[in-house]
């Protein structure tokens, strides 16, 4: 059986800016596959190439064995796409918009009506179906957009940041619905920068950073590769880099410490992976005290997808998000100065 999605050595640039570079991954039929990474990592560009909205510079992009580059029309027939930004006609009611969408897909009227009613029910939209979409909340608009993307019963549903800005209730409704789609055999490809979303939904995932896949596998496999428990500690609230590196060297010599990463974005905090020692917190405290290092704070946790990202890049996903936001703000300031 062909892969539901096959992307190999995908490369896409915009002028001098490389958006994605040699990205490769495969999505199996009937699974939920996640693309995890900060804003600006290349997730949306990858999705745009997959959905035929952008032409890759090079590489292979296939949907159900069909080339999205050589045969885009046939590939689109097998795709449902829900973009990050919701675009709805504010004058139409939810039901009217879905009927319009069904007509654009050339769906038989009787079958379309039944499908629309079913989707409205599954997404908890029946109560709001005859109200103008201009009165909808963000969560309702996103759920209606999801229904529109599913009207033609695509083999592969592609969702770009589907729960950004949604309240908790709407987010859980979308999550439950995606699980129902998977149970019914639909393949789902979802991009997100929410760790808990990908961890809760994805059978497998690829982590993207700066246009490159840095790791892939199931959430449990990726966390197992990190291994052990995580300890995050700060010598001081804002530790000088030299002092943090000295503490790192000392802690790295402890037999139960697998790795130590200094995170400059968090005041040069120390992030340890520890294994094979039940009383490691006490031993860490005693070792730091013997070396005359104070402890400002120390926490422990089991490995998470954020630890996977940290181990691969030396920064947390939140740090990457903040850095990306800072770059966007700087670009905006420069544009204003040029006016």
Measured distance CA(1)–CA(137) in Å, rounded = 41
Between strands 5-14 and 58-63, the pairing is antiparallel
pLDDT above 60 (res 163): yes
Measured distance CA(50)–CA(66) in Å, rounded = 11
The beta-strand segments (E) located in the chain are: 5-14, 17-27, 32-36, 58-63, 66-67, 79-82, 156-160, 187-192, 204-209, 212-217, 229-234, 257-263, 269-274, 297-301
Q: What pLDDT score does 236 carry?
A: 93
Q: 307: pLDDT confidence band, cut at 50, 70 and 90? A: confident
Measured distance CA(209)–CA(20) in Å, rounded = 9
**Residue 54, Cβ density class (10 Å: 0-12 exposed, 13-18 middle, ≥19 buried):** middle
Six-digit token string for 63: 């949907």
Q: Is 59 left (phi over 0), alpha (psi -120 to 50) or beta?
A: left
pLDDT above 90 (res 242): yes
Measured distance CA(69)–CA(76) in Å, rounded = 11
What average pLDDT does range 61-72 have in this prediction? 95
Q: Please determine whether the domains at 5-222 and 228-302 fall in the same fold group of CATH.
A: no
Q: What pLDDT score does 136 carry?
A: 92
Rounded (5°) CA angle 36-58-52: 65
What average pLDDT does range 304-330 have in this prediction? 72
Which residue is it, tokens 């993307």?
149
**Residue 286, Cβ density class (10 Å: 0-12 exposed, 13-18 middle, ≥19 buried):** exposed
CATH class of the domain defined by 5-222:
alpha beta
Range in 40-49, 195-204, 329-338 the model is least confident about: 329-338
Q: What pLDDT score does 327 carry?
A: 55
Between strands 32-36 and 204-209, the pairing is parallel
Q: 337: pLDDT confidence band, cut at 50, 70 and 90? A: low
Six-digit token string for 193: 């920068």
pLDDT tens-digit readout, 196-229 = 899 999 999 999 988 899 899 999 888 888 777 8
What average pLDDT does range 251-260 have in this prediction? 92
Q: What pLDDT score does 246 carry?
A: 95
pLDDT above 90 (res 316): no
Q: 91: pLDDT confidence band, cut at 50, 70 and 90? A: very high
Q: 331: pLDDT confidence band, cut at 50, 70 and 90? A: low
* Whole-number percent of the chain with pLDDT over 90: 55
Q: Are 139 and 166 in contact (CB under 8 A)?
A: yes
Q: What pLDDT score does 335 carry?
A: 53
pTM: 0.76
pLDDT above 90 (res 265): no
What average pLDDT does range 286-305 have in this prediction? 91
Measured distance CA(163)–CA(207) in Å, rounded = 18
Domain ranges of the chain: 5-222, 228-302
pLDDT above 90 (res 117): yes
Q: Are 57 and 35 in contact (CB under 8 A)?
A: no
Contacts of 66 (CB under 8 A, 6+ apart): 74, 75, 78
pLDDT above 70 (res 328): no
What average pLDDT does range 53-59 have in this prediction? 95
Six-digit token string for 77: 């027939």
pLDDT above 60 (res 339): no
Rounded (5°) CA angle 53-56-61: 85
Q: At what angle do helices 138-150 and 168-183 cross, to 10 degrees?
A: 10
pLDDT tens-digit readout, 118-134 = 999 988 899 999 999 99
Q: What pLDDT score does 173 carry?
A: 86
pLDDT above 70 (res 58): yes
Q: What are phi and psi of 25, to 5 degrees?
A: -165, 160
User: Three-class SS of residue 316?
Assistant: coil
Q: 169: pLDDT confidence band, cut at 50, 70 and 90? A: confident
Q: What pLDDT score does 53 carry?
A: 94
Per-chain mean pLDDT for the chain: 88
Q: Are 64 and 27 in contact (CB under 8 A)?
A: no
Give a three-class secondary structure readout of 70-84: CCHHHHHHCEEEECC
What average pLDDT does range 14-41 have in this prediction? 92
Q: What pLDDT score does 325 carry?
A: 60
Q: At what angle do helices 305-313 and 317-338 cross, to 10 degrees?
A: 60
pLDDT above 80 (res 234): yes
Q: Are 203 and 222 in contact (CB under 8 A)?
A: no
pLDDT above 70 (res 164): yes
Measured distance CA(314)–CA(269) in Å, rounded = 11
Q: Are 116 and 102 in contact (CB under 8 A)?
A: yes
Beta bridge partners of 67: 62
Fold adopted by 228-302: Alpha-Beta Plaits (3.30.70)
């Amino acid at each position: 059986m062909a892969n539901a999605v096959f992307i190999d050595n995908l490369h896409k640039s915009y002028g001098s800016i490389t958006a994605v570079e040699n990205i490769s991954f495969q999505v199996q039929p009937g699974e939920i596959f996640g693309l995890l990474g900060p804003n600006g990592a290349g997730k949306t560009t990858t999705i745009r190439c997959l959905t035929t909205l952008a032409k890759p510079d090079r590489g292979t992009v296939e949907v159900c064995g069909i080339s999205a580059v050589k045969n885009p029309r046939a590939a689109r027939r097998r795709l449902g796409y829900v973009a990050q930004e919701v675009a709805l006609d504010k004058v139409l009611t939810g039901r009217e918009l879905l009927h319009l969408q069904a007509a654009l897909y050339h769906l038989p009227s009787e079958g379309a009506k039944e499908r629309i009613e079913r989707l409205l029910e599954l997404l908890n939209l029946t109560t709001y179906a005859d109200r103008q979409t201009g009165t909808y909340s963000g969560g309702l608009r996103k759920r209606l957009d999801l229904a529109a993307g599913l009207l033609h019963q695509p083999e592969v549903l592609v969702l770009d940041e589907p729960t950004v800005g949604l309240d908790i209730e709407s987010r859980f409704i979308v999550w439950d619905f995606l699980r129902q789609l998977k149970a019914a055999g639909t393949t789902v490809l979802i991009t997100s920068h929410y760790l808990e979303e990908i961890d809760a939904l994805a059978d497998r995932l690829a982590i993207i950073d700066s246009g490159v896949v840095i790791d892939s596998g199931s959430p449990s496999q990726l966390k197992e590769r990190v291994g052990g428990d995580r300890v995050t500690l700060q010598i001081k609230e804002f530790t000088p880099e030299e002092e943090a590196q000295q503490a790192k060297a000392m802690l790295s010599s402890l037999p139960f410490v697998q790795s130590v990463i200094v995170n400059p974005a968090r005041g040069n905090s120390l992030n340890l992976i520890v294994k094979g020692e039940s009383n490691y917190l006490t031993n860490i405290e005693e070792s730091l005290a013997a070396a005359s290092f104070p402890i400002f704070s120390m926490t422990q946790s089991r490995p998470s997808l954020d630890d996977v990202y940290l181990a691969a890049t030396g920064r947390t996903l939140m740090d990457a998000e903040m850095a990306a936001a800072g770059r966007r703000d700087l670009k905006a300031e420069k544009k204003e100065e040029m006016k």
